[in-house]
Amino acid sequence: MNGWDNVKDNNTSKSAHIMAAITPSEGTAISLKYMVGAEQADSNRNLRHLFNANVSKQMGNLTLKADYVYGTEESVPGIGDATWTGVAGYARYAINDNFALNARVEFFSDDDGARTTTAQDLWEVTLTPEYAVNDNLLIRAEYRHDNSDQDVFDKDGALSDTQDTVGLNAIYHF
């Protein structure tokens, strides 16, 4: 693949991705992923590695998911060798065939600033009710609260350590 975090490839090197998934029991899924490649602009050296593990458990109308990520990158300009980690938890409760409530909590540690350009720890919580209008149309509202241990969010022209957003989306699939 051309890489990640880029619309257009930023060098002539390619990255590789491998994934293994198992379903050890009905309603339980586990996947492990590994990505590697040179991802710095105009450089085909200094590899970035990403390890990711996901677990999902369906229990009737409730679905629980967990996600863990660990990344490293060699010789990041202005930083040196860098690492980052993240964890996330997701819950979805289907009230009926048309309506569900979703919640997500995430924590991301970028102690070197390699992924966010600022050395920081971030966390967020998101609440998302969803309504299935029919088999093809899904409407979602979303409230999200972000927090950082650094002032990184723009709030009325000044920097703040928190950010709140509200969104509305419609997903049409066929």
Specify if 137 maps to a domain: yes
Average pLDDT, the chain: 93
Contacts of 158 (CB under 8 A, 6+ apart): none
Residue 1, CA distances (Å) to 4, 5, 10, 63, 149 in order: 8, 12, 12, 31, 34
Q: Which domain holds residue 111?
A: 16-172
Specify if 168 maps to a domain: yes
Report the number of distinct structural domains present in the chain.
1
Measure the CA–CA gap between 26 and 24, rounded to whole angstroms: 7
Query: pTM score, two decimals?
Result: 0.86
pLDDT(43) > 80:
no
Residue 65's pLDDT is 98
Specify if 7 maps to a domain: no
Specify if 2 maps to a domain: no
Specify if 8 maps to a domain: no
Which band of pLDDT confidence, cut at 50, 70 and 90, is reported for residue 42?
confident
Residue with tokens 């920081």: 120
CATH number of the domain to which 111 belongs: 2.40.160.10
What is the DSSP secondary structure assignment for residue 152, as one 8-state letter?
-
For 19-35, how does the pLDDT look when each residue is reduced to its tens digit (9 = 90+)?
999 999 999 999 999 99
Specify if 107 maps to a domain: yes
